[in-house]
Amino acid sequence: MDEPTRAPSRPAGAGELFQLLRDGRPRTRSDLAARTGQTRSTIAARVDQLLASGLVSPAGEAGSTGGRPPATFAFRPGARVVLAVDLGATHARLAVTDLAGSVLAEHDEQLAISAGPHVVLARVVEIGELLLERAGRPVSDLASVGVGLPGPVEHSTGRPVNPPIMPGWDDADVPGLLSDHLPVPVLVDNDVNLMALGEHATQWPTVDHLLYVKVSTGIGVGIISDGSLRRGAQGAAGDLGHVAVPGGANKPCSCGNTGCLEALASGPAIAATLTALGLPTRTGAEVVALVHAGDPDAARAVREAGRRIGAVLATCVNLLNPSVIVVGGQVADAGDHLLSGITEVVHARSLPLATQHLRIVGTRTGAAAGVLGASAMAAGHVLSASAIDALVG
């Protein structure tokens, strides 16, 4: 032997072939051969591998112009399930979904993130096992877990990085703590990124440039650019809470700076404004309740907060040129007042080329955005070309 040889590990390409089937449309072997330029015999062998994996199943016969109609094949999203976990400061929302994000069982409860990773993640495992049971699926059907956390996360390791409202979680090994009990891949990201993923995957799958803005106790953005979530160098992208607002008041912020967006336009900031006007409120939820009760001062304060957010989003629009901005989070429940304020200033302060096709809309997935995004992240991980190749290899 003049060169070291290695046995070919697998015929490459079943994973790539599977990507063509992920949209759920049934396809014939001929369709797949034409789309890939691969031979019929190669396609037949790869389809057999995918059928054996259970991720693809026969889907009936295609129409034919004569003779025996050809068989079709389609992605079978129910082949496996994922556990989707959205943890907030005081609230947990979990779901077991299929691989296309359809919810099979779900559960909400109050759960304080401040109880620390061991307590919180033990409870996540308990609820996860309960939901699998309720969905009638054994743990062996679980393909992966997706977790959203209310703070910065190093996505590659799944560890929180100095999260301000998560005492005890800094650098915690979230995947390790969960996979001791649920022995599958665990993906972790911050909640706003997952809301952007969830809204994009379920409502705007064909839009390549989308921003999802969460307006709540904090203010953050999830960025979809060229069809994918962009996390930045340390996974810190989208953290707009402490940027300075153009034209904004010099109000002190808890971070030590002044004039931060959160100090002017978050739920608690709007509540403080209303309290100063003689309407004692503490949280965004109380502000929203006042708006729904028809209080004009509350509506005006929410609209003004929208203008402050719009002043920062105008810079984001000029920088990234998205075609859709989705506004979600607790304060977005106040409805059109927030959207109007945002839209007014984004249009006043952005270039015509960047706004002529821009849509600014309220969330369609509401409080489910995060859990839908956790499901999309978890399913995306196990359905990637390389994961499928490893599975069928």
Contacts made by residues 65-68, CB under 8 angstroms, sequence distance 24+: none
Four-residue CA torsion sign, 329, 335, 338, 341:
positive
* 3-state SS record for 60-115: EECCCCCCCCCEEEEECHHHCEEEEEEECCCEEEEEEEECCCCEEEEEEEECCHHH
140 forms part of the interface with a copy of itself (CB under 8 A): no
Instruction: Return the number of the residue (136 or 393) whose C-beta is nearest a copy of itself.
Output: 393
Instruction: Return the number of the residue (96 or 224) whose C-beta is nearest a copy of itself.
Output: 224
Instruction: Return the number of the residue (238 or 268) whose C-beta is nearest a copy of itself.
Output: 238
Give CA–CA dist 194/190, Å, rounded: 7
- Residues 220-259 interacting with a copy of itself (rule: CB under 8 A): 221, 223, 225-226, 228, 230-240, 242-248, 257, 259
Strands 210-215 and 219-225: antiparallel
52 forms part of the interface with a copy of itself (CB under 8 A): no
Which part of the chain contacts a copy of itself (CB under 8 A), choosing from 8-16, 135-143, 178-186, 268-276? 8-16
Which part of the chain contacts a copy of itself (CB under 8 A), choosing from 46-54, 123-131, 353-361, 371-379? 353-361
Q: Shortest approach of a copy of itself to residue 87 CB, angstroms?
A: 19
- Residue from 20, 22, 26, 38 in contact with a copy of itself (CB under 8 A): 38
- Residue from 57, 321, 340, 384 in contact with a copy of itself (CB under 8 A): 321
DSSP letter, residue 69: P
Backbone phi, psi, residue 361, to 5°? -135, 160
Q: Shortest approach of a copy of itself to residue 77 CB, angstroms?
A: 26
Find where tokens 């993640």 sit.
Answer: 121
- For the chain, the first-to-last Cα distance in angstroms comes to 27
320 forms part of the interface with a copy of itself (CB under 8 A): yes
Instruction: Return the number of the residue (36 or 157) whose C-beta is nearest a copy of itself.
Output: 36
64 forms part of the interface with a copy of itself (CB under 8 A): yes
Beta bridge partners, 220, equal: 214
Q: Which amino acid is at 378?
A: A
60 forms part of the interface with a copy of itself (CB under 8 A): no
